[in-house]
């Protein structure tokens, strides 16, 4: 399966762009800790989708999709921490939060579809 044909992968790449454009706008106090973690987590989402798709087996793809789901949850936790620290960031993070939610749902849907093919 070619990952570049997956809407899920395309959406994860757009999310990465959004995160990389957002993190430099953070106040300096947040920029050097949490922004680095956010960038690593968002890169992991798309990378694991791509790697899993290239593995050639549904079982392996599911394994990498689960890793991508974990990275999406990690990114979600980073957003929650930022909002806890600075509630004024809530509005500027809504788009990123919405994308994380969509991607998480898409990952779970793809996992369910692949599991049905294994049975």
Q: What CATH code is carried by the domain that includes residue 18? A: 1.20.1440.60
Q: Is 56 left (phi over 0), alpha (psi -120 to 50) or beta?
A: left
pTM here?
A: 0.93
Residue-wise pLDDT tens digits, 38-94: 999 999 999 999 999 999 899 999 999 999 999 999 999 999 999 998 898 899 899
Tokens representing 60? 């392996």
Judged against a pLDDT cut of 70, whether residue 30 lies above it is answered with no
Q: Distance between CA 11 and CA 100 in Å, rounded?
A: 9
Specify the number of domains making up the chain.
Answer: 1
Could you tell me the end-to-end alpha-carbon distance of the chain, in angstroms, rounded to an integer? Answer: 19
Distances 19 to 10, 11, 34 between C-alpha atoms, Å? 14, 12, 12
Structural domain including 27 reads 3-118
How many Cβ atoms are within 10 Å of 68's Cβ, its own excluded? Answer: 27
Q: Distance between CA 117 and CA 59 in Å, rounded?
A: 10
């Amino acid at each position: 399966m070619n990952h570049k044909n997956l809407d899920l992968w395309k959406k994860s790449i757009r999310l990465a762009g959004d995160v990389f454009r957002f993190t430099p706008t953070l106040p300096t106090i947040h920029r050097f800790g949490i922004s680095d973690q956010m960038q690593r987590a968002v890169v992991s989402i798309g990378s694991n989708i791509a790697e899993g798709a290239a593995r050639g087996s549904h079982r392996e793809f599911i394994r990498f999709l689960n890793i991508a789901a974990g990275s999406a949850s990690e990114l979600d936790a980073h957003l929650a921490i930022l909002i806890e620290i600075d509630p004024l960031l809530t509005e500027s993070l809504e788009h990123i939060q919405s994308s994380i939610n969509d991607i998480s749902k898409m990952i779970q849907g793809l996992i369910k579809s692949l599991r049905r093919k294994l049975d």
